[in-house]
Amino acid sequence: MSSSDWFRYLPHLPDDDLWGIAVSGAGQARAGKNRPYPPLGHPADHAFDWQTGRVLHGFQIVFIAEGRGRFESRQAGVHPVAAGDALLVFPSVWHRYQPDPTTGWFERWVELDGPSVRRLLGAGVFDAARPVLALRDPLRFSRLMDELLELVQSAEPGAREQAGAVGHLLLALLQALPGAGKRASPGAGMVAAAERLLAEKIEDPVPIPDLARQIGVSYSYFRREFKARTGLSPKRYLQRMRLERARRLLGSTVDSLDQIAERVGFSSAFHLSAEFKREFGMPPRDWRRQLPPS
């Protein structure tokens, strides 16, 4: 083990579940050319060798900053690994990985746990059949991994919670990659563009079929992909976005209901009131009256 190699495992604390995500371990290691791998010294429930592999209880992200190698798991088979790849190690899944002896590699890793991680895995945001992901921006990912590792080593108050927040950001970056999970689709970028256009023209939106043509896809494909990504049809999504903006205006301005209806694209205060009550369970005037005085 070189002088720059280190790892640390953290106990589960009662407050970890309050934050939704916690770092249960992290470290880094440089495997030189033709050197034994993996490094020694890890506890028995995390140690492994190529012959036997291992099964973990937590979810790990292993970032390969330099070198190349291979990864194998029961669900995914064997995959080549290159610098700039992230390896996803899933709970209760047999796996093994190692650097190419002619190049070695430099790895940074983090193990995450908590209700948020379990929900993401349960929802199929990440897929055990796709454990090797090529990063769009390896430099940014590397900087975030460095920040997380520094926090794990820090004794400053709040460092543990900050490390969990960085872990959450790493997961958000990974889930946006093509092929990251069962929920991923080629339409992800299209849906993001549509959400942006709808938000920009909320008071006078482009008709949904025209919006699909503007993005360059058929309406049927657009509607299907949009609902798969957001859980709402484009029309329902736009309606929800208008009503949420109306609610913010009711709480932050003294504008009349007619003025607010015009600002968020409703034909009249009556129409806004009816839809608002259907969505939030009370008329907008009643909702405004129950707010605490400013």
Q: What is the pLDDT at residue 1?
A: 45
Decide: pTM greater than 0.75: no
Beta bridge partners, 97, equal 71
- Give the Cα separation of 17 and 184 in Å (integer): 27
Cβ pair 172, 126 in contact under 8 A: no
Q: How many CB atoms lie within 10 A of CB 253?
A: 12
> Domain holding 270: CATH number?
1.10.10.60
Q: Is residue 50 assigned to a domain?
A: yes
Of residues 15 and 24, which shows the higher confidence score? 24
Least confident of 59-68, 73-82, 110-119, 195-204: 195-204
137 in the same domain as 162 = yes
Q: What is the pLDDT at residue 41?
A: 83
229 in the same domain as 261 = no
118 in the same domain as 19 = yes
Q: Is residue 116 assigned to a domain?
A: yes
164 in the same domain as 141 = yes
Q: Average of pLDDT values for 89-99? A: 94
CA quadruple 212, 217, 221, 225: dihedral sign: negative
Q: Is residue 22 assigned to a domain?
A: yes
202 in the same domain as 137 = no
66 in the same domain as 131 = yes
Cβ pair 234, 222 in contact under 8 A: yes
CA quadruple 99, 100, 104, 105: dihedral sign: negative
242 in the same domain as 230 = no
Residue 80, token pair as written in the block: 């080549």
Domain count, the chain: 3
Q: Which of 37-51, 224-238, 262-276 has the highest mean pLDDT?
A: 262-276
- Label residues 9-42 b or e (16+ Cβ within 10 Å = b): bbeeeeebeebebbbbbbbbbbbeeeeebbbeeb
- Position 257, amino acid: L
For every residue of 196-247, DSSP letters joined together read HHHHHTTTSPPPHHHHHHHHTS-HHHHHHHHHHHHSS-HHHHHHHHHHHHHH
Q: How many CB atoms lie within 10 A of CB 146?
A: 15
Inform me whether the pLDDT recorded for 294 exceeds 70: no
Q: What is the pLDDT at residue 15?
A: 84
Q: How many CB atoms lie within 10 A of CB 144?
A: 19
> Domain holding 170: CATH number?
2.60.120.280
Beta bridge partners, 88, equal 61
Residue with tokens 């990974």: 174
Collapse the DSSP code of 29 into the 3-class scheme (helix H, G, I; strand E, B; otherwise coil) and give the result.
strand
Residue with tokens 């339409």: 187
Inform me whether the pLDDT recorded for 136 exceeds 70: yes
Q: Tell me what the pLDDT averaged over the chain comes to.
A: 89
Of residues 261 and 181, which shows the higher confidence score? 261
CA quadruple 118, 123, 125, 130: dihedral sign: positive
> Domain holding 227: CATH number?
1.10.10
Q: Average of pLDDT values for 104-112? A: 96
Contacts of 65 (CB under 8 A, 6+ apart): 83, 84, 105, 106, 107, 108, 138, 142
Q: What is the pLDDT at residue 188?
A: 66
149 in the same domain as 21 = yes
- Give the Cα separation of 248 and 103 in Å (integer): 56
Q: Is residue 104 assigned to a domain?
A: yes
Q: What is the pLDDT at residue 181?
A: 66
26-46: pLDDT as tens digits = 999 999 998 888 888 888 888
255 in the same domain as 229 = no
The domain of 253 spans 236-289
Beta bridge partners, 72, equal 78, 96
Residue with tokens 């309406």: 219
Residue with tokens 């920009």: 200
CA quadruple 74, 76, 78, 82: dihedral sign: negative
Q: Which of 44-48, 99-103, 186-190 has the highest mean pLDDT?
A: 99-103
